[in-house]
Amino acid sequence: MSKPAPTSSQPGALAGLKILDLSRLLPGPFATLLLADLGAEVLKVEDPIKGDYTRMTPPFVGSESARFMSLNRSKRSMTLNLKRPAARQVLLDLVGHYDVLIEQFRPGVMDRLGVGYETLKQVNPRRIYCALTGYGQDGPWRDRAGHDLNYWSLAGATGISGWASSPPPVYGVQVADIAGGG
């Protein structure tokens, strides 16, 4: 019988780093999960009406989505309706105490909400602002929704998968989302 591996009481490599996570679905939450696993303190900020859409994704453990729980372990969470001035002020107050903000909205959404990069930079000029989008911040496709299947298709991966006599398969896993988020 082998002995169990010793456990470490050392803090993670990112201990002390504080991250505000305004992302949802898979790429952003996966990225911040990796950061939390490395010791960063992550505060997930969700819309109070729908929250992160993975909350509705099966399979469920009781009434909770297993996917949501696995992507958001080791994170604290709160809700803010950023369409309300008081909630925007809460976010501005939080930004003063956090090192990184990651958001996953389409370009321009944070600006329209009044909490875009330029506004947040005034509160905390040292904070890192990460905007995770499917097609970047500028260019002809900047406003398009991006999903894993779109990226696979644009890369040509769907055209070389499956059988010539049938349409390309829809994959059961999200590879581009994880590679982009991770």
177 as an active site residue: the answer is yes
Phi, psi torsion values for 179, nearest 5 degrees: -65, -40
**151-162: buried (b, 16+ CB within 10 Å) or exposed (e) per residue?**
bbeeeeebeeee
- Catalytic residue of the set 21, 52, 148, 177: 177
| SS3 category, 176 | helix
Q: Which residue has the tokens 């469920």?
A: 60
Is the separation of the CB atoms in 127 and 157 below 8 Å?
A: no
Residue type, 160: I
Catalytic residue list: 177
